[in-house]
Structure 1
Amino acid sequence: MSDREQLLLDFLKAAGLADATRDPLPGDASTRRYERLTTPDGRSLMLMDQAASAESPPADPSWTPEQRLAAGWNATARLSAGRIEAFAAVADHLRRLGLSAPEIIAVDAAAGLAVLEDFGDDLFARVIERGEPEEPLYLAAVEALATLHAAETPAVLIGPAGDWPLQVYDETALQGGADLFVEWLPKLDPELAFDAEAVADWRAAWAPVVARGAAGATVIAHRDYHAENLIRLSGRSGAPMVGMIDFQDAVRAHPSWDLHSLLQDARRDVSPALEAKALDHYFQFYPQIDRAVFMRDYAGLAALNEARILGIFARLIVRDGKPRYAAFMPRMWDHLNVNLKQPGLETVAAWFDRHVPEARRK
């Protein structure tokens, strides 16, 4: 038996769950692991296993950009490193707002273990595949974001596993994410090559988008808000019907971030009509917003995120041997190509025209 397994058994025993049946869930692109626990009386719970040693350190709020870059990817751009205590603190904050995040049943932050309320398997993506109308689900997801954005955004979140600083999705993090594109796409597609001048031009082209994104970082962003991370909860309506999971990487970010993550999804098609209706629904809660300015930032940050995700998918394929992520890349290219035509992205679009022919953007 491994030391990790013994630690897990001791944790379950201390939580009164030594007799629970354990069923591993399929893995994803992260270092987290989940198991469904079933107690002898039939209760279903979720075990989250995220060893801190599996990740490079999270960002320290006092670090300079240079220190963050030297400390690795998590300190540069991911910020929280997926820590259990981050998940617990965000969950507690969401629940206090009346939103649906799993209750923390037991947690040991040092061990990287938690037992959570089980929201079941009705992911938005799956229930839509079974024929449930998608529009009410997406509008409820927008209502949940409107509720979150209307609340005070604390600098420190108080949670059952300890306090957690809510870090800002700032220039270093935004540009660090975008740079995955120029780092990893040539490794996937050898016909692409970006020399030092091209990389410098890349960063200069994104600089205005990055600056606006950092300046507009005023709300908590889930950071991975899409139909595979939202669960339809029976017996609830409106925002509370939206069960949120996988929010351990939450940050203070521009309010458009979770909206474009939801509406320009890498894993499923969202029609332009539904995207427009969902955005209209959001603006009903915020009639004071300058919509033109907001949508400029929405398109710019969506394009940056799509470049980031293309870089992540390339890395997963090349470095991690996960070719299935190639199936998602054409959808990301489609989103990016549309956004590059929007106001404010002329310099970025010109960079792509010079360095990534349109024939390779698919």
Structure 2
Amino acid sequence: MRGLRAARGTLTARRALLVVCALLLTQLGSLIAPAYACGCGAMVPARQSSMGVDRETSVVRWDGATEQIVMRFTVNGDAPEAAWIMPVPSRADVELGDPDLFGELDDLTAPVERTRYYFWPRDGDWPFSSGGEGASAGAPPPVDGAPEVGVVGRERLGDFDVARLTATDPDALRDWLDANGFDLPADLASGLQPYVDQEWEYVAVRLAPEEKGAALGGTLDPLRLSFESDRLIYPMRLSRLADEPQSLGLYVLADHRMEPRDAIGGDAPEVRFAGRVSSADAPALGELTDGKAEEKPLFLTAIDQYFSQPERIDADHELRATASDTTYQQVYYEDELRMFAGVPAWLAAVGAAFVVLVLLVVGAAVLRVRRRVV
């Protein structure tokens, strides 16, 4: 009987060990080749490596006929290379962007810090002893018979290997990408089908450092795409391939304040800045406007959006002008106790009131004494 119990205990221990090993292998597999989707398309690292996109920011400029998108990625991991693809509605030109553009726009859209003074002491002020911090608040809100895959151009731009393609079949496009070193998700063909049906073109980018053996990391050089479009569209549909929640940061430059038509499956887009800017405020804007931003300031709208369930993304972002060009900027308030001559104003006021009261009492007493004497 004891031998039977021991055998059962050994079998149970083995099963538990197998379960633990299976879970470890599952986690290891997720680390070896995870698929990352960006706001602009699908990105995956090379096999047997890992890479994460810490931040993806895009600047979109639209003048009613031509759209320009400047993208910048901040990545981490040990991947020597990675690839992503971005659909575009028409033939695109690709070149490196100006890295100063993002810093300038960050400065322009930074929240304004203001000080609010209060009179009576709060928690943390003398004579109260417990700690506390000031409150902060923000203000509200192909042609028939053409090849299945056509290569328009292929060039090397810094750490980017860029291919501009046309395709009439999503599976053929996926096969071409795989054969030419663009390692992308196996289910990419299903995600590309709507773009193939609309006869869009594609910009495939392989990120491979020129220095052999170097891993992708830090902030990469921005990439700038230009193409004709009578609508302001930011491709997002491929982000539904992501396994993890996604965040999107957009700087939109146009003649008017812009807003997404709908949430396309994510949280409600949040505006953190809206206002006119010129190349005098941000010299790098001249790259996107041919110097016209100084003559006629553009309206800059900074939009953030979070996608907790990427599989729910059902369309590309189409942006439209709002009913009015209302300006907006976030404001953070720092509350401070009002001071007077280095002394809390409330204490000075109470002290002054006490002195006045004492003087009145003394004066009244002196008057009574004088009357008695008289």
> What band does the TM-score fall into relative to the shorter chain?
under 0.3
Point out the structure with the larger helix share: 1
Which TM-score applies when normalising by structure 1? 0.23
Question: Looking at CA atoms only, which structure, 1 or 2, has the larger radius of gyration?
Answer: 2
Which TM-score applies when normalising by structure 2? 0.23
Point out the structure with the larger strand share: 2
